[in-house]
Amino acid sequence: MNDIQLLTDGVSESAPAVRRAVCSLTSPKLQPWHWDRQAIVYVRQSSPQQVLENRESTARQYALVDRAVALGWSRDQIEVIDDDQGISGKSIEGRLGFQRLLAEVGLDHVGLILGLEMSRLARSCKDWHQLLELCAIFRTLLADQDGLYDPTEFNDRLLLGLKGTMSEAELHILKGRMFQGRLNKADRGELLTHPPLGYVLNADKTSFEFDPDEQAQTVVRLIFAEFVRQGTVYSLLRYLAQHGICFPVRPIGGPNRGHLEWHRPNRNTLLTMLHNPVYAGAYRYGHRHLEPRRRRPGHPKSGTVRVALEQCRVLIKDRFPAYISWQEFTENQARLAQNQWRANAQGAPRGGPSLLGGLIYCGRCGQRLMVQYCGRANRLRYQCGRGAQNRGEPLCQGIVGRDLDQFMTERIFEILKPVSLELSLAAISDLEQERARLDELWRQKLERAAHQADRAARQFQAVEPENRLVARTLEKNWETTLREQEQLRREYDEFRRTQPLTLDATQRELIRHLAEDIPALWHSPVTTPQELQQIVRMLVERIELHIAGNSEQTEIIITWVGGGTSRHRLCRTVVSYAQRSDVDQLITRIVQLRQSGLSLKQTAQQLNQDGVMPLRGHQFTNFMISRLLVQRGLHLPYGRKRPDSIALAEQEWWLPDLADELQMPRTSLTHWYKRSWIRGRKLAGLRGRLILWADDAEVNRLKQLRDTRRRWSDNPYPQELTTPQSPTDRCSEDCKRAYNE
């Protein structure tokens, strides 16, 4: 290649034919079909830092254009591909320039590819051999600073394969050296990245130290203290937003790099802080590793897997100054894991009135019961319907939500009652500590605002009076800082007025009273369902429901937080007396009371005194007793008592008897009588009892009317079905005389 360069140096660039003739004599690898196509110069540096600092290497790569001219190509046939500057050659992913190079070779547009070294083209054997295969198929030559290669020739192909293997091995050697150096530094706890919130790097950049700003330290300590008090990340985030508390951030780039800024709180940053052991003074390394199977093309940061803290390669405790103790950090991790488990297993507290949603499990199939709101009144019900919803199976079991919520409320009151005094004292202490932390944060805000106002005043006073352009701007800045300082002072006064540091005797007595009267606090209108759900989740871990068949007998197994369990019995609400396990005893008791001479009203009063509960409501009534006896065939209702002194004429019916004959409700038959669709008469003195007339033809007509589908007013029933026959047309003389009377 050097000989070709020497021979062609004296030939003008405007005479490519002469150059090609000289090159063909010197190197037989160059053929006319190579010069008919273009030459591509591939330029690449591995990192942005090399692009900025290793400019000599970049210049040498761009100078390969002259090499292509020396080999017989004109400058308009030469294309430079430098799209991959600052991108590593370990993979084809993200290298648009290399992908374009492969496409041009595959389209038979390229006769020669030039690179300073073969490692510039690829450091992966997979990508390198893919390029070699394409170049061999389309008879494309490759050239570097050492020579000219033809992939169709065995010796050149062997040499190119060795160069590709050495390039990949060189990359692994370099990475291995750098990785070992990082490991040695990590073993000493000195491999540091950007400091987390509340920390800064020390002067020699070998450790973290507290942020010199006192307000930044106060905010970080407040975040960890409030997480212990709030219990969840969402509650902590809402607390910070309500009190206007911002994160102390020192940007790692940009014009304000390293200077303190105040940003609004967000969930991701809170989770990062709570999971970071640096705040407990520990150094860790190796808590993330790359899983190649999880990588997604086009996403360089994908495939990262987090490992447990105990599995980290390096874990050094007491390495940095700590905001919290290691024990508190461990408790926070356990609380976060428990919150995640509850979110998956129990579900987060919802907006509905359900108290136990997400906590109840079916004792038969093990599925979690669903929360349902039925009817216009949104009646709450817990129903095991997973099998019906997913596989079309029958409904498993369910319970009225009012019964179970009331039962669990009573159990929770029993637990909280013995600790009411401790709760009140803890609430008083916790409230005073919270207000003290907020007051300290407010005073630091005021101090910062005062410093900014003084600084603006000094800047304005230091400017020359003649420079009015600068003076007016500084004056506006001074006025702005003064207004902000005054606004902050008013907000602080309002905070001190509404939330004093110490509670007076009246407030302390109110807290004690509320703690002692937990039911009143529980049922207070200002207590939201979400707050009640959170209280239940702090005490109850799981509720298992076992219903005996289809009866009202229910066994409830409660698993409390901490591992303790308790078993209870509950009589649930059912829809019919046939579902009650004690229905036979109830009927027997009612019959005994009736046989003793008690009326229906007196029987209901006696059952209420005995503590017997009906299906619905809290007390029995005479109507309930009558209906229950009718369903059992033991008693006729008032409307079906037939006076013995009244004899029915031919083809006359008592209304209940005709309703039974037609197999339809008595109320519908009464409605037909009122609309004159059936003939009948009322008995005077017997509270409106009806005697209806219907012969065989009328019975058939009524059955047809019963079977006719309901029509609307614009399409009424057929008139022949709603027009009754007169009883006097086909009635005996006795019947006519009865109706005439």
Q: Per residue in 157-187, pLDDT tens? A: 888 888 888 888 887 888 888 888 888 888 8
Residue with more model confidence, 216 or 20? 216
**Looking at the predicted structure, is the pLDDT value of residue 28 above 50?**
yes
682 lies in the same domain as 620: no
255 lies in the same domain as 167: no
**Looking at the predicted structure, is the pLDDT value of residue 408 above 80?**
yes
Alpha-carbon span 656 to 667, nearest angstrom: 10
**Looking at the predicted structure, is the pLDDT value of residue 716 above 80?**
no
Confidence bin at 428 (pLDDT 50/70/90)? low
Alpha-carbon span 315 to 281, nearest angstrom: 11
**Looking at the predicted structure, is the pLDDT value of residue 640 above 60?**
no
Residue 76, domain member (yes or no): yes
Residue 192, domain member (yes or no): no
pLDDT of residue 12: 46
Which of the 8 DSSP states describes residue 368?
A: B
684 lies in the same domain as 613: no
Confidence bin at 21 (pLDDT 50/70/90)? low
CA 670 from centroid of its chain's CA atoms? 57
pLDDT of residue 79: 92
Beta bridge partners of 649: none
**Looking at the predicted structure, is the pLDDT value of residue 687 above 90?**
no
User: Quick one: which H or E segment has residue 510?
Assistant: helix 505-516
Q: Which residue, 332, 322, 299, is CA-closest to 225?
A: 332
Interval 551-562: pLDDT, tens? 888 899 988 876
Q: Copy the structure tokens of residue 146.
A: 């050492």
pLDDT of residue 334: 87
Mean pLDDT, range 199-205, rounded to an integer: 87
- Across the beta sheet with 379-383, the strand order is 370-374, 379-383, 398-400
536 lies in the same domain as 470: yes
Residue 416, domain member (yes or no): yes
679 lies in the same domain as 553: no
**Looking at the predicted structure, is the pLDDT value of residue 741 above 70?**
no
CB atoms within 10 A of CB 365: 12
Q: What is the mean pLDDT of the chain?
A: 81
Confidence bin at 103 (pLDDT 50/70/90)? very high
Is the entire prediction scored with pTM above 0.85? no
Q: Copy the structure tokens of residue 195.
A: 């400091």
Q: Of 635, 665, 684, at which residue does a domain stop? A: 635
Q: Which residues contact 642 (CB under 8 A, 6 or more apart)?
A: 654
Alpha-carbon span 432 to 420, nearest angstrom: 19
Alpha-carbon span 212 to 431, nearest angstrom: 29
Q: Which residue is catalytic, options 46, 167, 354, 424?
A: 46
Three-state SS for 22-36 is HHHHHCCCCCHHHHC
Residue 239, domain member (yes or no): yes
Residue 305, domain member (yes or no): no
59 lies in the same domain as 20: yes
**Looking at the predicted structure, is the pLDDT value of residue 713 above 80?**
no
pLDDT of residue 180: 84
Contact present, 173 and 90 (Cβ < 8 Å): no
Q: Of 555, 573, 591, at which residue does a domain stop? A: 573
The two beta strands, 540-547 and 553-560, are antiparallel
Which of the 8 DSSP states describes residue 277?
A: G
CA atoms within 13 A on the CB side of 449: 20
CA atoms within 13 A on the CB side of 500: 7
Tell me the torsion sign for CA atoms 319, 323, 328, 329: negative
94 lies in the same domain as 49: yes
Which of the 8 DSSP states describes residue 205?
A: S
Mean pLDDT, range 422-444, rounded to an integer: 70
Interval 434-465: pLDDT, tens? 777 888 888 888 888 888 888 888 888 888 87
The two beta strands, 38-42 and 110-114, are parallel
pLDDT of residue 80: 92
pLDDT of residue 7: 44
Q: Which residue range(s) make up the domain with 726?
A: 647-740
Contact present, 353 and 380 (Cβ < 8 Å): yes
Residue 452, domain member (yes or no): yes
403 lies in the same domain as 551: yes
Contact present, 530 and 351 (Cβ < 8 Å): yes
Q: Tokens 């969402």 sit at which residue?
A: 234
Alpha-carbon span 481 to 455, nearest angstrom: 9
pLDDT of residue 638: 47
700 lies in the same domain as 626: no
User: Quick one: which H or E segment has residue 374?
Assistant: strand 370-374
Mean pLDDT, range 399-426, rounded to an integer: 73
Q: Tokens 């006795």 sit at which residue?
A: 734
**Looking at the predicted structure, is the pLDDT value of residue 309 above 70?**
yes
Residue with more model confidence, 587 or 710? 587
Mean pLDDT, range 313-321, rounded to an integer: 89
Confidence bin at 6 (pLDDT 50/70/90)? very low
Confidence bin at 22 (pLDDT 50/70/90)? low
Mean pLDDT, range 215-228, rounded to an integer: 89
29 lies in the same domain as 86: yes
Q: Does residue 557 come out as left (phi exceeding 0), alpha (psi in the -120 to 50 range) or beta?
A: beta
Mean pLDDT, range 712-724, rounded to an integer: 73
Alpha-carbon span 349 to 530, nearest angstrom: 6
Contact present, 310 and 287 (Cβ < 8 Å): no
**Looking at the predicted structure, is the pLDDT value of residue 512 above 70?**
no
Confidence bin at 279 (pLDDT 50/70/90)? very high
User: Residue 626 catalytic?
Assistant: no
Q: Which residues contact 69 (CB under 8 A, 6 or more apart)?
A: 13, 19, 75, 78
243 lies in the same domain as 105: no
What burial letters (b/e) apply to 549-563, b meaning 16+ CB within 10 Å?
eebbbbebebbeeee
Residue 191, domain member (yes or no): no
**Looking at the predicted structure, is the pLDDT value of residue 481 above 50?**
yes
Mean pLDDT, range 674-693, rounded to an integer: 76
Domain count, the chain: 5
Residue 298, domain member (yes or no): no
Alpha-carbon span 617 to 402, nearest angstrom: 13
Confidence bin at 718 (pLDDT 50/70/90)? confident
472 lies in the same domain as 560: yes
Q: Which residues contact 135 (CB under 8 A, 6 or more apart)?
A: 105, 113, 141, 142, 151
Beta bridge partners of 208: 201
pLDDT of residue 421: 47
